[in-house]
């Protein structure tokens, strides 16, 4: 688990998520280290929520990911 201080932004974020994602992608494409740790945390927490919400016990359809789920061809 990351340290709590890594999950906080030094200042409140006012840009919409779509703009933050575009800025992050452009930094990545320019081979610079993206600096929006808050956006990374947001996506991590959202993916965690999705995994937990589709893996409820007793529902009969637990979330199971395999290498086949990530093929791109």
Cα–Cα distance for residue pair 16/14, rounded to 1 Å:
7
Q: In which domain, by residue range, is 46 found?
A: 15-70
pLDDT for residue 72 = 60
Question: Which parts of the chain register pLDDT below 70?
Answer: 1-12, 56, 58-73
Asked, for residue 46, whether it belongs to a domain, the answer is yes
pLDDT for residue 31 = 83
Asked, for residue 1, whether it belongs to a domain, the answer is no
Q: What is the mean pLDDT of the chain?
A: 75
Residue with tokens 């199971």: 64
Domain total in the chain: 1
Query: Pick from 6, 43, 48: which is nearest to 25 by CA?
Result: 43
Token code pair at residue 5: 């201080």
Asked, for residue 57, whether it belongs to a domain, the answer is yes
Residue with tokens 């995994």: 51
Asked, for residue 5, whether it belongs to a domain, the answer is no
Give the count of alpha carbons within 13 A of 48, CB side only. 7
């Amino acid at each position: 688990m990351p340290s709590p201080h890594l999950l906080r932004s030094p200042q409140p974020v006012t840009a919409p998520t779509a703009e933050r994602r575009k800025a992050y992608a452009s930094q990545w494409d320019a081979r610079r280290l993206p600096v929006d740790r808050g956006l990374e945390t947001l996506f991590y927490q959202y993916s965690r929520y999705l995994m937990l919400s589709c893996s409820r016990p007793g529902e009969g359809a637990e979330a199971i990911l395999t290498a086949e789920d990530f093929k791109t061809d």
